[in-house]
Amino acid sequence: MTTQTQAQIAGRAALWRLVLDDLVDREMNQVVEMARSLMENYFKNKHRLERKQLSNLVGVTGETRSVAVVTDFVRYQMGRDERRQNWRAGQPPFGQAILEQIDNLKARAERLVNQATGQNLTPPDRTVEVDRVWWTLVRRFAAYLEHSFVYYDKAQQKGGGQ
């Protein structure tokens, strides 16, 4: 393979990444709203969730690049919540709502990869790219959940509205 061909391949891969990352950034308004809405609904119920529990969720997303590890963590927390006061509080249960949103994020990741492909770009490996985007969305979603928790928790402590 010639140096020029290698440079073209590298250039296409870099362009793919830029276009896809731009599409992901444009998706953030919806991801923030998903987290906000979930947390707003959660705070309508009596609960005993603490910020540290969401910080632990964010920590798990920083320790791995596996969505399966994150979903396993959420299921574990749900299993520990025998009194239904934190991860199983609410309707639907908080942990179940998180798992549903994680599934929704995979569909969003697939849509974003399809959008980038529709711009006459070819992913190096479609499955890897969908997983990479999904992972990015899950990490950001977990962080936005924690942000929303802090807001609603403070508003509740003040006895105020939103």
- Sequence spans of domains, the chain: 3-157
CA dist 13 and 11 (Å) reads 5
pLDDT for 45 equals: 83
Whether the pLDDT of residue 124 is over 90: the answer is no
**For the chain, what percent of residues have pLDDT higher than 90?**
72
Side-chain half-sphere CA neighbours of 7 within 13 A = 3
pLDDT for 1 equals: 63
CA dist 31 and 9 (Å) reads 32
Whether the pLDDT of residue 11 is over 60: the answer is yes
pTM: 0.90
pLDDT for 4 equals: 63
**If pLDDT is split at 50, 70 and 90, which confidence band does 67 have?**
very high
